[in-house]
Amino acid sequence: MNIAERIASLRIAHGLSQESFAEKLGVSRQAVSKWETGASIPETDKILLMSELFGVSTDALLKGDAPAAEETAPLPPQADAPLFSLDDTPLEPALPQAEDADEPAQQQKKKKGRLAAKIVAAVLVLALLASAVLLPLHYGGIKEAWWALCGGKVQYPYVLVHGLGGWGEDSALNERAPYWGASTGSLPEKLRQAGYTVVAPSVGPVSSAWDRACELYAQLTGTTVDYGQAHAETHGHARFGRSYDTPLVENWGAKINGGQRIKINLVGHSFGGATVRLLTWLLENGSVEEQAATGDETSPLFTGGKGNWVSSVTALCAPHNGSSLITAMDTLGSIVGIGDSSQLLAYLVFSAAGLATPVASTYDFMLDQFGISATQGSMKSVRNAIAALTAKGNDHAGYDLSPDGAKALNERIGTVKDVYYFSFPYCTTHAGTLLPVQVPNSGTLPVLIPTATAMGMFQGKTKGGLEIGTNWQENDGLVSVVSAQYPFTEPSSAFPSDPSDGKAYAHGVWYVAETREGDHGTVIGLNADANATLQFWTALLQRIDALAR
């Protein structure tokens, strides 16, 4: 390498253009060009300046004793890369620096790729976090959000269970005189139009709470009524009753839509309250007696473990602790012109359903287990059927409706830990002005005025020794307010300050509403305002639907 090549190499290695190099030496660019092409040799003072500028000895510049490229450790030029252009102008460090530039460019490209990947990952994480927060907020909770993703929140059907002497939608009486809705029109139809799933089956109008619960279970599941071998033998009737091919609630108890169990909301009016309470208890606890009697052939109703098939139990004007009217009949029977228990029960069959005259069509007593079939609905036939029923023991509504019978039932059953409980009492009486009694309000259903009067003045003891005091006198015409509030043996509470807050309720506790004005038929629409009735039911179902799951 000659001096011209060494000067060019050192300049390029130090990143100097010919112009900037010339400025540092105080010469023109053309002078530098001539040095690097070999057209001329720099003067001694310029060689000294270059020695200081490049940090090499003058000998290295002039003679090449220590190669300039090695002393300054520049990147060696490619072997076949030209140092000069065609016009003898030294090239800028293109190819020698190209290798140096490629590696940082590739590294920068990789860095940009990694940065982009990190940004995408961060966006995905933020999206997931946002979904984890916003979806539960939108749907009301993590479970609700999961259900929404799995097909939606399952709507629990409502099962309406009539009281003493009543009937369901499958009865021949329903078209002419619907029990649910009564004079305001079919309540189940109106509720279905509002978007709810509602069924209203018929169970034995004068049967015991046990037999009615068994009949209700068979209809809900689409099976044959099994009253239980032990129960049937004890009370002298057949073990099996009617068969139902189609379940009222499809897949009841199964899990769908992300693990949601299909549950039901039970609503019982009057004696229907005892029916739904007993059904719920049997679903959870079963019957040891029936399991012992039939072993592997025991009805699923009596095997227990199904309490979580029920979401809520609502009792409307229900005689949780019995009706004092049953106790009062012997001493006060003359008020309504009835002299014996079978006649009283016959009267209650129709007054409970709001009928002042005998049914003018075939009346189905659903007493197949006792060999009593449907009969023409005259008062005589009603009395005869009830007399035949009561003659066989106490497996009938008359006993379960008495304070003694209700006490026996309450000592046997209780609330279920996974179920919500609600109770709505009504009152159609007020304190008398002259005597310490309750007298009927002016708007009381006429057929209930005698019974409301009898209950409003009665005090005494039951055959079993239970005290019926003045606290039993407020009544709705058939059930005392104190009895309609909650079973004496079970936990209770007033409604929370915000009744619409579904999270304010606990399982296994009776929540008792403030006593409402009205008689025994008001809540089912009998002689009631149609709009007020529908508003009550719509609010009730909305509140139940909002319960925490």
**In which band, very low, low, confident or very high, does the pLDDT at 67 lie, cut at 50, 70 and 90?**
very low
Q: Which amino acid is at 21?
A: F
For the annotated catalytic residues, the residue numbers are: 270, 476, 520
Mean pLDDT of 87-102: 47
d(CA 497, CA 31): 100
Q: What per-residue confidence (pLDDT) applies to 70?
A: 40
Mean of all residue pLDDT scores within the chain: 85
In this predicted structure, the answer to whether residue 530 has a pLDDT above a threshold of 90 is: yes
**In which band, very low, low, confident or very high, does the pLDDT at 284 lie, cut at 50, 70 and 90?**
very high
Residue 156's contacts (CB-CB under 8 Å, 6 or more residues apart) are 197, 262, 263, 264, 265, 311, 545
Q: What per-residue confidence (pLDDT) applies to 72?
A: 43
* Of 474, 408, 436, 444, nearest in space to 274 by CA: 408
- Provide the token pair at 530: 């149609």
d(CA 8, CA 160): 104
d(CA 430, CA 432): 6
d(CA 47, CA 7): 10
d(CA 212, CA 204): 6
- Provide the token pair at 298: 């025991």
**In which band, very low, low, confident or very high, does the pLDDT at 524 lie, cut at 50, 70 and 90?**
very high
d(CA 38, CA 86): 15
Phi, psi of 440, deg, nearest 5: -65, 145
- Determine contact, residues 239/228, Cβ cutoff 8 Å: yes
In this predicted structure, the answer to whether residue 360 has a pLDDT above a threshold of 60 is: no
| Dihedral (Cα; 211, 214, 219, 220), 10-degree rounding | 140
In tens, the pLDDT along 203-224 reads 999 899 999 999 999 999 999 9
Q: Which amino acid is at 299?
A: S
Residue 144's contacts (CB-CB under 8 Å, 6 or more residues apart) are 136, 153
Q: What per-residue confidence (pLDDT) applies to 378?
A: 59
Cα-Cα-Cα-Cα dihedral sign, residues 429, 425, 404, 352: positive
In tens, the pLDDT along 97-128 reads 444 445 577 777 777 778 888 888 888 887 77
Q: Inter-axis angle of helices 403-412 and 272-285, to 10 degrees? A: 20
In order of 180, 230, 344, 390, 396, the CA distances from 236 in angstroms are: 33, 10, 24, 12, 12
| Dihedral (Cα; 78, 79, 80, 86), 10-degree rounding | 80
Q: Which residue has the higher pLDDT, 163 or 109?
A: 163
Q: What per-residue confidence (pLDDT) applies to 73?
A: 42
d(CA 55, CA 68): 9
Q: What per-residue confidence (pLDDT) applies to 136?
A: 61
Residue 73's contacts (CB-CB under 8 Å, 6 or more residues apart) are none
In order of 210, 485, 490, 500, 514, the CA distances from 497 in angstroms are: 36, 18, 22, 9, 12
Phi, psi of 264, deg, nearest 5: -130, 155
- Provide the token pair at 312: 């809520």
Task: Report pTM.
Answer: 0.74
In tens, the pLDDT along 406-459 reads 999 999 999 999 999 999 999 999 999 988 999 999 999 988 998 899 999 999
For 434, the 3-state DSSP assignment is coil
Q: What per-residue confidence (pLDDT) applies to 69?
A: 41
> Chain centroid to CA 109: how far?
53
Please count the helices (runs of H) and the strands (runs of E) in the chain: 21, 19
- Determine contact, residues 261/311, Cβ cutoff 8 Å: no
Q: What per-residue confidence (pLDDT) applies to 71?
A: 42
- Determine contact, residues 454/336, Cβ cutoff 8 Å: yes
Q: Which of 37-46, 358-367, 434-443 has the highest mean pLDDT?
A: 434-443
d(CA 449, CA 531): 25
Q: Which residue has the higher pLDDT, 62 or 330?
A: 62
In tens, the pLDDT along 447-477 reads 899 889 999 999 999 989 999 999 999 999 9
Q: What per-residue confidence (pLDDT) applies to 202?
A: 97
- Provide the token pair at 478: 């058939």
Q: What per-residue confidence (pLDDT) applies to 133?
A: 63
Tokens 């390029």 belong to: 12
Strand pairing class (516-517; 426-427): parallel
Q: What per-residue confidence (pLDDT) applies to 358?
A: 45
In this predicted structure, the answer to whether residue 68 has a pLDDT above a threshold of 60 is: no
> Where are the extended beta strands (E) located within 196-290?
198-199, 224-226, 240-243, 255-256, 260-261, 264-269
Phi, psi of 371, deg, nearest 5: 80, 20
In this predicted structure, the answer to whether residue 348 has a pLDDT above a threshold of 80 is: no
Give the residues across from 396 on adjacent strands: 207
Tokens 């004890």 belong to: 234
- Provide the token pair at 461: 């003891």
Q: Which residue has the higher pLDDT, 530 or 76?
A: 530
In tens, the pLDDT along 302-337 reads 999 999 999 999 999 999 999 998 888 755 554 545
